[in-house]
Amino acid sequence: MKGATAVRLSGLLASTAYFQTALAGLYAGQSNLNHSCSLVKPILSCSAGATAELTDSCCVETFGGLVLSTQFWDTYTGLEVQGQVLPKDSWTLHGLWPDFCNGSYTQYCDLNRQYDPEPSPNTTTGKPDGTPVPAYKGPGIGTFLAPFGKFDLLAWMNKYWIAQNQPNQDFWGHEFSKHATCFSTYDVECYGPQYREHEEVVDFFETAITYYQELPTWKWLAGCAIRPSNATSYTFSKIQRALTTNFGATPYIGCSGPRYNTTEAGKGSLDDGYTRLTEVWYYYHSYGRTQRGQAKKVGADINGGRVTNCAKEKGAVWYYQRTKGSEL
């Protein structure tokens, strides 16, 4: 993610502190033996028993237990001439993120698995005194799938996991390196003595897709007569109601573009929310490993954080159509 969405919005969550973490596995001295997760009770992340002291952190998410499945609505890719286009009648996958249970988060937790060509931010804390995150200069992360024969996975990702103004696989490298390395269940040690290089990368991609496929944002909105339009705007409460009703908990809905009170329509208004619908984040606590795909839906305001940065005045939000030639 780049630009305005490179970091979470200030004030979104109850706490936005960053935490310095080790530059290898999340827990020092972790063995690669005895992680038979079928023998471990799938404890709910962020519950009292979901700590590394009480259970196997390879089998229960003990580090980033507040899981966010995130989606984009972009109207162009910037690389249409190279065949990088957006899927028709579908939002695109942004990623799967591990926040701490209090709503704060960390990033780039293992620099030995740093595959992001353009780290954003470029330190582990997002601050000048943080550990620098070196730019990755090796083969694109998409090439990691070939030794596993995952060509169907690669094709799917190139259709639904789409970047803007950068090649898709650079974006995937960013999502894995910044976020997946901060899940306890994707530590290399969790894959045992027969670990194959990049096995956890494939695992993360497939898991992110599992969550995404249960969240048909475009269909949910369209079912409530909310469709992309360059002529008709929408009211935030209607968008929120459509997604909350279908998901079963309140998601975070993100907007970009001009603030409402800077537009002609909002002149004189006190509403300074943004006016272009661009993102949705769905929140969960996971049962056991996130890879199991079993989770409890929770509201984005679980820690007292905001549920949107969008304008709330009637008709203030635009859900724009895709640019001609940007959708297939």
Task: Point out the residues that are catalytic.
Answer: 94, 175, 179
Q: Is 268 left (phi over 0), alpha (psi -120 to 50) or beta?
A: left
Angle between helices 168-178 and 199-213 (to 10 degrees): 100
The CA distance from 302 to 290, in Å, is 19
Tell me the helices (H) and strands (E) count for the chain, helix number first.
5, 5
Radius of gyration over alpha carbons of the chain, in Å? Answer: 20
Distance CA 171, CA 177 (A): 10
Rounded CA-CA distance 2/45 in Å is: 29
SS3 content of the chain, % helix, strand, coil (to 5): 25, 15, 55
Tokens of 102: 């209090």
Any alpha helices (H) in the chain, and if so which ranges?
151-160, 168-178, 199-213, 217-222, 236-247
